[in-house]
Amino acid sequence: MKESDVKKRASLAESKRVQKLRSEIARLRGAYHTKDSPVVADDVYDSLNRELKSLIEKYPEFDDLNAPENRVGGKPLDKFEKVKHEIKMFSIGNVFSDEELFAWEKRNLKLLQRSDLKSSKRSDLKLDYFCELKLDGLAVSLVYENGKFIRGVFMRKNVLKKLNERNKKEDKPLFANSRNAAAGSLRQLDPKLAKERHLDFSPYEIVQIKGKNWEKQIEKHSQKHEILKKIGFVVDEHSRKFSSSKDIPSFINEISKIREGLPFGIDGVVINIDDTNIFKSLGVVGKDPRGIIAYKYPAERATTIVKDIKINVGRTGVLTPLAIFSPTSVAGSMVSKATLHNTDQIGRLDLRIGDTVVIEKAGDVIPKVVEVLTHMRMGKEKKFKMVEKCPVCGGKVQKKEIGSPVRKISSGLTLLGVPSGTHTVQKSYELANPSVAYYCTNPKCSAKDERFLEHFVSAFEIYELGPKILRRFKDEGLITDAADIFTLTREDIAPLERFGKKSAENIIKEIKLKKKIPFSKFLCALGILHVGEETARDLAVNFITLDKLAEAEFEEINEIENIGPAVSESVYDYFRNKNNLLFIKKLLKNGVVIKKVGKIKENKFTGLIFVLTGTLSQMSRELAKEKIISLGGKVSSSVSKNTSYIVAGEESGSKLKNAQKLGIKIINEKEFLDIL
């Protein structure tokens, strides 16, 4: 096969992709600009646009000045009188990272060195920048007797809230965001209706002042802002001037921390070259002036093409389909796979291999596919079919409806105080959200063993034992199950290649420290189906000891608040399985000690959810969790809109940023100790 043939085929595929992207972008632009009724989030539109841009950069023959992506705005509505802009309105290009920002500056400097602008012929040319917030609004051009202004029209968040509350009462459609509400308000044929919407506007540019030599008098973009302020306009108070681009990222990060608390919506920071002469000399590329760029915050959503759907085998044997795609940037990190949960979810999405999809990654959450862009289909997409054999061990795969209406329970074990005798109980119940799951039925599946070991050491917080080390110990015959971890010795580990005495000592030291474990964490470590950290805490608080939980009937478990029939069935069945009870007995024999559950002293934290992040100096995070639970509160491992407080210690990470974004109340360690 000739290399040229390969290129031709690849180029044809890319050509079809470009056509599809242009068609979809044109459709989305029409909905956004003309109808003020976007059908996808801005993140999704930006992602498609970026893909198209990268393809055009790769294949310049695809560039077309008349294409939708090179036009500003949308088609004017026929109901309004058409007016030609005296000064052309442009769009603003986007960057999404510090690297892209610096690359934009580098391109401009290279262009300026080649230009005829006298002031730019120095080899030491240095650019000053003026940064301002990128309002989530509608750009308009207004003419006044003494000048002409382009300004951002926007709607404050509290006004949007009131407008949507009124629309809800009147059974009218709700606005998705301030931008849509502002744009829709301006397009009202009745000016009285537009007035009722309480729009605000903030000018960000003086385009022209009619008079002699005005451009010579105003040579800086920052000067324009000062003039606008003196005239009486409300301009962005957060704007700042920088003499070096290296200082801009810290400003962008600073704004991101207060973003959610602003009275208006923003989706980034606009960076202008402050010198208006240099700005003008750089000119325009397509629809974007080269001297201005918008730095957009990391998108929580992005688009990508599903190349394959693979199967992951979990610790309980459940088969989870994963969407596989090329590395894609979302929420500030690169991802190449996303969970599809189960076949029901694939069916609901109507997802096929080859589809263009929207992926979402909010905060610490695992990426997931949330939408399929069916308009992007080429006709060669393939439907997914669940495997009949486990992809790891080849074991038979069984289909099971989670929480079937009829259940049979058998018991006849004497371990841990479970009464002897065998009986069968028929229980009938309905699940609120029944779903189908597929399981590997092979009890000796290596994938199940590996996932369980990883889960187990994570619950016990034995951080020295990562997946590779666990696999090595199992391959070397040092452990057959998780209970064997607690009988390991320095002499077992030290002789292994790449370990040595010091490494072995560190591992054994941590294992010994973690032998004593709270009841809730012990339950979580067992890997009982449907039992995570929160459910384990609920079970521990209600049953106090392992024996009491092991003896509990289905009805007793099911009566606990927040625990439904599927969880109750899973817990009940777990403690009626002989192998499970033998495993627990082995853990206790090997030195694991279950801490007694402290009774809830008072209910001052009832209904409150805490998230701990960073390092606490006055107490361990484990002790902090116990204190919260003892006062009736709950501790979550991730931030969500339901979080009540985030307790921020030193070196707090992404959880703190997510809390700031969601407007969650943040308290430091001292404030936390004060409310205990």
Place of tokens 């004497």: 414
pLDDT of residue 196: 54
Give the max Cα distance, the chain. Answer: 103
Domain 609-675: which CATH class?
alpha beta
Would you say 656 and 646 are in contact if contact means Cβ atoms under 8 Å apart?
yes
Would you say 395 and 344 are in contact if contact means Cβ atoms under 8 Å apart?
no
Gap between the Cα atoms of 615 and 7, Å rounded: 54
State the alpha helices, DSSP H only, in 268-397. 276-282, 343-349
503 is in an annotated binding site: no
524 is in an annotated binding site: no
91 is in an annotated binding site: yes
pLDDT of residue 143: 59
Gap between the Cα atoms of 328 and 332, Å rounded: 10
pLDDT of residue 4: 45
Strand intervals (E) in 481-529: 516-518
pLDDT of residue 439: 93
Would you say 543 and 552 are in contact if contact means Cβ atoms under 8 Å apart?
yes
563 is in an annotated binding site: no
pLDDT of residue 364: 53
99 is in an annotated binding site: no
Gap between the Cα atoms of 264 and 179, Å rounded: 10
Domain 1-75 has CATH 3.30.1390.10: no
Between the CA of residue 139 and those of 72, 266, 370, what are the distances in Å?
11, 14, 30
Q: Is 645 exposed, middle or buried (0-12, 13-18, 19+ CB in 10 A)?
A: buried
- Which DSSP letter does residue 487 get? G
> Running along the chain, 676 residues long, what does each successive block of 10 average in pLDDT?
44 84 87 70 85 86 71 52 58 89 93 65 76 79 54 47 62 55 48 55 75 72 88 85 94 87 83 93 86 87 94 92 91 86 92 94 75 92 94 93 45 40 42 73 92 95 93 94 96 92 94 94 94 88 90 88 84 95 97 80 80 88 81 81 89 81 89 89
Query: If DSSP codes are grouped into helix, strand and coil, which group holds residue 27?
Result: helix
pLDDT of residue 548: 92
- Which DSSP letter does residue 463 get? T
**CATH annotation of 301-383:** 2.40.50.140
Give the sheet arrangement for strand 645-648, strand by strand: 634-636, 609-613, 645-648, 665-668
Q: What letter represents residue 65's amino acid?
A: L
pLDDT of residue 517: 95
404 is in an annotated binding site: no
DSSP 568-580: HHHHHHHTT-HHH
Would you say 342 and 373 are in contact if contact means Cβ atoms under 8 Å apart?
no
Q: Closest Cα to residue 143, out of 81, 198, 209?
A: 209
393 is in an annotated binding site: yes
**Superfamily for the 90-296 domain:** DNA ligase/mRNA capping enzyme (3.30.470.30)
Place of tokens 């989670």: 402
Q: Report the topology of domain 462-513.
A: DNA polymerase; domain 1 (1.10.150)
Gap between the Cα atoms of 456 and 483, Å rounded: 10
Place of tokens 């044997």: 317
Ordered by start, the domain boundaries in the chain are: 1-75, 90-296, 301-383, 462-513, 609-675
Sign of the Cα pseudo-torsion (161, 295, 229, 144, in order): negative
491 is in an annotated binding site: no
**Catalytic residue numbers, as ranges:** 134
131 is in an annotated binding site: no
**Strand partners of residue 273:** 129
